[in-house]
Amino acid sequence: MTMMTDRQIRAAIETNKLVMQGYDPKLVQPASYDMRLGDQVITSSAREIINPAQKGLVTIVAGDFALVTTFERVVMPTDIVGHLGLRSRFAKMGLVLLSGPQIDPGFRGVLVLGLANLSPRDVVIPY
Handedness of CA 114, 120, 126, 127 (dihedral sign): positive
* Per-residue pLDDT tens over the stretch 90-112: 999 999 999 888 999 999 999 99
Phi, psi torsion values for 13, nearest 5 degrees:
-70, -45
Coil, helix or strand for 87? coil
Give the strand pairing for 19-21 and 65-75.
antiparallel
Q: What is the pLDDT of residue 1?
A: 56
Q: What is the pLDDT of residue 73?
A: 98
Q: How confident is the model at residue 2 (pLDDT cuts 50, 70, 90)?
A: confident
Q: At residue 30, does pLDDT exceed 70?
A: yes
DSSP letters for 92-103: HHTEEE-S-SEE
Which residues sit opposite 95 in a β-bridge?
A: 117
Q: What is the pLDDT of residue 89?
A: 94
> For the whole model, what pTM was predicted?
0.90
